[in-house]
Amino acid sequence: MILFVGLGNPGARHARNRHNIGFMAIEAIAREHRFGPFRARFQGAVAEGLIGGERALLLTPQTFMNESGRSVGEAMRFHKIDLADLVVFHDELDLAPAKVRVKIGGGNAGHNGLRSITAHIGNDYKRVRLGIGHPGDKALVHNYVLSDFFKAEIGWVEAVCEAVARAADLLARGEDASFQNKVHLAVQAAGFGEKTAPA
């Protein structure tokens, strides 16, 4: 079984925040691959289904970002999921809006959700970095990630989430480069990607 985790903060107040693009990607995957309803488990919201013939668990921790690792660790221990079968979707300040990159391990770049997961289960898991751009000043980061996407940004946000959802079977099979390429081409075809300037 593979575990796809989206990072974000629970509650309607945070639903459209930049910090919640990981939640949005997981919701898009659930719709695209016709997962059952989400239910409360492992201090999170969980849905089970198939992605490209692979059994998959989708999880959005409801612990608030800084404690995401508690929820992820609980789900992994219960289902005996290896670190190699975990994929975490999260917002990435160091990538331009609409850019998507996959990496395994590495630093957490000040991301409290990743830091919490690493503290609970170790660092060598796969991350799908969903670019949201940087506000340009470190002092502005906190308010930037916890504010909603602008109306003008919603187009690329939806394009990225839909592209990620459609290519999720490649990720499930470990074909990370193909996944990244397919997402990039789909986002460009939708009119976003390289041409999108940071907000």
Whether 196 is covered by a domain: the verdict is no
SS3 at position 96: coil
Measured CA to CA, the distance from residue 55 to residue 173 in angstroms comes to 11
Whether 194 is covered by a domain: the verdict is no
Whether 197 is covered by a domain: the verdict is no
Helix residue ranges, H only, the chain? 21-32, 68-79, 112-121, 141-145, 154-166, 168-172, 176-189
Whether 141 is covered by a domain: the verdict is yes
Sheet with 100-104: strands ordered across: 39-41, 44-51, 54-61, 2-6, 86-92, 126-131, 100-104
- 17-37 pLDDT, tens digit per residue, is 999 999 999 999 999 999 999
Total count of domains within the chain:
1
pLDDT, position 137: 94
pLDDT, position 196: 43
Q: Catalytic one among 14, 19, 111, 120?
A: 19
- 115-153 pLDDT, tens digit per residue, is 999 999 999 999 999 999 999 999 999 999 999 999 999
For residue 43, what are its two tokens? 């201090």
Whether 199 is covered by a domain: the verdict is no
Q: What phi and psi values does residue 56 have, to the nearest 5 degrees?
A: -135, 145
CATH value at residue 120: 3.40.50.1470
pLDDT, position 109: 74
**pTM, 2 dp:** 0.95
Whether 198 is covered by a domain: the verdict is no
The verdict on whether 19 is a catalytic residue reads: yes
Whether 195 is covered by a domain: the verdict is no
Contact 60, 45 (CB under 8 A): yes
Measured CA to CA, the distance from residue 184 to residue 80 in angstroms comes to 33
Whether 148 is covered by a domain: the verdict is yes
Mean pLDDT of 176-189: 96
Residues shown for the chain: 199
Domain with 126 in it: 2-189
CA distances from 117 to 36, 40, 95, 109 (A): 25, 19, 21, 13
